[in-house]
Chains A and B, each alone.
Chain A
Amino acid sequence: MHIPDNYLSPATCGTLAVAMAPIWTVAVLKVKVQIKQHRETLPMLGIAAALAFLIMMFNLPIPGGTTAHAVGGTLLAVLIGPWAACLALTVTLLLQALLFGDGGILAFGANAFNMAFIMPFVGYACYRLGQKLHHEKLGLAIGAYLGINIAALVAGIELGLQPLLAHTASGAPLYCPYGLNIAVPAMLAAHLLVAGWVELVFTLLVYQFVQKVAPTNLYQTTPKTSQRPWFYLLGGLALLTPLGLLASNTAWGEWSPSELKHLLVQQHVGSTVPQGMAHGFHFQALFSDYAIAGLPVSVGYILSALTAILIFLLLIRGLQHDQSTFKN
């Protein structure tokens, strides 16, 4: 999954490196907090990076006589925490690119995005969900499989977009020459059929061993003391919902049949709305387009957002286990 140089345009590499910058910043801040509680986390980062390197170079036999290797993104996230895993995998990728020629130097941001961010976080989210539902091994297995496959899908999309993003006047691709129709299936097929299963088995086996031999060495999540920042974030987002009303045009792809007909005529594509859309199912919502009669549209947006947040919070609250408050 290591994307070499010259497969992605410099613009794509730059964009993905910029996208990784806030993730790295948050990871460093989170790890600093982790270090205050467990001082060994600091050297553990470097040692985990070396461990990830060894995991990636260890080939496992697969049916058909060939071999494949695991990445260990989900495993590291479960063992040392997702943020520390993100940093450790970043260092491994940097080491591989600069000293061993595995993965590009310009494409480092893209590789970090796929393997040091998507993979450990998707895997860890599934593991935590499984842990909450008392099926942590199932959660881990699904996480390991999904993590590597989603990372492969994103890598396939990054590669497949190149012929659209960078080409000569005659249409010849300047970087990865395969379009989405080839890059995505090629990346996904290899990972869905082979690499995903290798990652799953590898993660489960090592996790089982560590859980059996030294369960205290697994990453323990610290209980959240305050949920206030999340409420501030949700409230802020709810207040910002009418921001889209500033745009003069409607959202792309959210046209009504009459709007679509107007656009088709304007672009000389056709003069009639597709049959399926004209005579399809039309649901009349209670607050259509987030509008509430008698109120300005922006207030309708904010009220809709607050209502949705409240409904979801009530749903989550209803699904939570009761905390034992018995006192002797």
Chain B
Amino acid sequence: MTNQPSKTDLPTWLQAPNQPTTKRNRHPFLARNQRHLQALLVRLAQPAPAIPATRWQLPPHIKLLRLGLLLLLIALINNGLFLWGLALLLGAQLLVLAPSQLRRFLRSWLFSSLMAVIIVLPTYWLNGPATLLWFGFKTSLILANAQYYRATTNFQDLLTGLKTLHCPDVLIMTLAIAITYLRMLGNYLLQTMEALSLRTVAPAKHPYRLIGALFGNLYLKSYTYALELYAAMEARGFNGHYAKPATKPTRWRDYLSLSPYVALMALLIFWRN
């Protein structure tokens, strides 16, 4: 019997097992930056953080003031009991967050706290465990409060808060333009990087060669955006002032929400004296 291939058999080149060819990434740093940029764009594209529906919403400027007071208090206090009290207060506030929001908060807070502790880890051998523990506790409490503010405040609230606190218009406007154009420039940079990785056939002599073109183009694009934006601002009757969106009036109980922190601050001052 001869080993003749039948008519229904596939040709030999199709029967041979596939040899997977490994696609070598010509610019791994571009790919890594693309991933970072995509993550940033996803974060910017998401709607405002889901604020738990409670009847009492603090006005944006009170939230900002509370954050400032809290951070200052934590930085100043060297009494473990007071700090514990502040941590409990934050814990109670965290209970109101939605589960998904809480998970996001925990992930971000644990990561940033770990980074902070790693930096001061050598003090364990220099000054003993007390400094490391104390520093780690205070820093993680500060980070938790800042993270809570980020999780519960959207960008518009931040701008409104700054405006109510009489921040200069130039700064608020610059901030508002920056956040809007961060997304647009980020998109443009991502598209340029994708185009580069798709169209580059031969590997560049040095990865840095692309940087000049990437960011040079991005700057020129920013300049074009600035000209267009100014024309649009003028067409809409821009008068140099940032228009504050209508906000609810501040009530006495809003100010009352600051009272625990003010009381603690007063206690701290008199205790010292």
A206 and B178 within 8 A (CB): no
Q: Is the interface of A mostly helix, strand, loop or mixed?
A: helix
- Is the pair A46, B177 in contact by a Cβ cutoff of 8 Å? yes
Q: Which residues does chain A contribute within 8 Å of B234, judged by CB atoms?
A: 39
Write out the residue numbers on chain B whose beta carbons fall within 8 Å of the beta carbon of A172: 127, 130-131, 134
Instruction: Write out the residue numbers on chain B whose beta carbons fall within 8 Å of the beta carbon of A209.
Output: 212-213, 215-217
Which of B32, B177, B215 gathers the greatest number of chain A CB atoms within 10 Å?
B215
Interface residues of A in 50-71 (CB under 8 A from B): 50-51, 53-55, 57-61, 67
Is B96 an interface residue, CB under 8 A from the partner? no
Q: Provided the pairs A53-B182, A205-B211 are in contact, do residues A106 and B175 lie with their beta carbons within 8 angstroms?
A: no
Residues from chain B with a CB closer than 8 A to the CB of A51 are 185, 218-219, 222
Q: Are B36 and A59 in contact (CB under 8 A)?
A: yes
At the interface, yes or no: A258 with Cβ under 8 Å from chain B? Answer: no
Whether A205 touches B112, Cβ cut-off 8 Å, given contacts A42-B173, A46-B178, is: no
- The bracket for how many chain A residues form the interface is 35 or more
Given contacts A40-B226, A43-B229, contact A101 B170 (CB under 8 A): no
Contact between B230 and A177, CB atoms less than 8 A apart: no
B256 within 8 A of A: no
On whether the beta carbons of A60 and B127 are closer than 8 Å, the reply is no
Q: Please determine whether A50 and B182 come into contact, CB atoms closer than 8 angstroms.
A: yes
Main secondary structure of the interface of B (DSSP, over half): helix
- A33-46 vs B, CB cutoff 8 Å, 1 = contact: the mask equals 00000011111111
- Give the distance in Å from the alpha carbon of A243 to the alpha carbon of B1 in the complex: 117
- Which of these, A40, A60, A95, contacts B178 with CB under 8 Å? A95
Contact (A46, B176) CB under 8 Å given A59-B32, A177-B135? yes
The answer to whether the Cβ of A28 comes within 8 Å of any Cβ in the partner chain is: yes
A214 is an interface residue with CB less than 8 A from chain B: yes
Contacts of A214 in B (CB 8 A): 220, 223
Which of A43, A54, A94, A201 touches B186 (beta carbons < 8 Å)?
A: A54
**Distance of A8 from chain B, by nearest CB (Å):** 9
* A1-42 near B? 1/0 per residue, CB < 8 Å: 000111001100100000000000000100100000001111
Within the complex, the shortest CB–CB distance from A36 to chain B, in Å, comes to: 12
Chain B residue total in the interface (Cβ 8 A) = 74
Closest residue of chain B to A84 (Cβ to Cβ) is: B174
Q: Check if B227 is an interface residue, CB within 8 A of chain A.
A: yes
Please tell me if A48 contacts chain B, counting CB pairs below 8 Å.
yes
CB-CB under 8 A from B176, the residues of chain A are 46
User: Are A58 and B139 in contact (CB-based, < 8 A)?
Assistant: no
| Residues in B189-245 with C-beta less than 8 Å from chain A | 189, 207-209, 211-213, 215-220, 222-223, 225-227, 229-230, 233-234
Contact B174 A45 (CB under 8 A): yes
Q: Mark B66-87, 1 if CB is under 8 A from A, else 0.
A: 0110011011101000000000
Which 5 pairs between the two chains have the least Cβ-Cβ distance? A46-B177, A209-B216, A205-B212, A49-B178, A44-B226
